[in-house]
Structures are given as C-alpha cells and as structure tokens.
Amino acid sequence: MSESHKIILLIEDNPDDEALTIRALKRSHISNQIIVAHDGVEALDYLFGMGAYAGQDNVKPTVILLDLKLPRFDGIEVLRRLREDERTRLLPVVVLTTSNEEQDMLDSYSQGCNSYIRKPVDFLQFSEAIRQLGMYWLLINEPPPV
C-alpha cells in the first residue's frame, strides 16, 4: 500500500486539538490523507458506510487516532463497536487523550485499543509524540491483511 493510500482517521471533537494534531503530523512530514470525524457517530458512519457516508466506497484507515471524550458516542463506545464488527475488528486504534483517569486506560485496553497515549500539554512534546506515532503506525508497523 503506497503512502498516499494510508489513511489516518482522526476522531476528535475539540477544534484546537484537531488543528494541533494535523499541524504536528504535517510538521513531521506525514503527508497521508487525514479524515476527521468530530464525534463517535460520525466516525462509525465513516467506517461502516452509513449516514452521510452511505453508498461511498470509504477506504479503511491504516490507523485510527481516537479521543475518549466525544459527543454522542464516547471513545470507549466507538472502540467497543469497532471490535464487535468483523470489518473493523483488526483496525489499529490509538487512544489519544488528555485523560489521566486510570479507569479510562483500563477501559480502553479492555475494549481492544492497540495503544494509549496521553496528549502532552507542551506543543513540542505533543509534536514529537505525534511524529513517533506516525513513524510507527504508518511506516514500521505491518497492518493486518484486508
């Protein structure tokens, strides 16, 4: 799969965090297409071709960056639904959150997240975390066969 066909699905409702994440990806020379969903329902609609995405041939993302605190369906519910469905069960999901709650981490891993990253407050630290995340999930990691 070529670089241009490796899609990142960013599920983030905070416009500032969305902009920071995209800026950090671009700053790290990660030029992959980024699809943004602003809540859990929009994310599931994209992944399962429902709602506004019905009838579209959406490419499954190479990695999903999932915030936990989302409107409509929170990140844990999104993760649960992804892991229940054969079509999305194996998609790599990185929880990217500001939450320091141990229960959020336990719930994320028990629902099958692949990685849990706390968003650093400092932009340079955040940028470095995103760079490493992109390098690993888009270049180093071997995704499951589709």
Question: What pLDDT score was predicted for residue 119?
Answer: 86
Q: What is the mean pLDDT of the chain?
A: 91
Identify the architecture of domain 3-140 in CATH: 3-Layer(aba) Sandwich (3.40)
Q: What's the length of the chain?
A: 146
Write out pLDDT tens, residues 11-41. 999 999 999 999 999 988 888 999 999 999 9
| Interatomic CA distance for residues 110 and 2, integer angstroms | 32
SS (H, E, C) 75-132: HHHHHHHHHHCCCCCCCCEEEEECCCCHHHHHHHHHCCCCEEEECCCCHHHHHHHHHH
Reported as a pLDDT band with limits 50, 70 and 90, residue 146 is low
- What's the pTM? 0.92
Structure tokens belonging to residue 95: 């929880």
Maximum Cα–Cα distance across the chain: 41
Write out pLDDT tens, residues 108-117. 999 999 999 9
Write out pLDDT tens, residues 118-127. 987 788 888 8
Domain residue extents for the chain: 3-140
| Interatomic CA distance for residues 126 and 104, integer angstroms | 20
Mean pLDDT across 84-110: 94
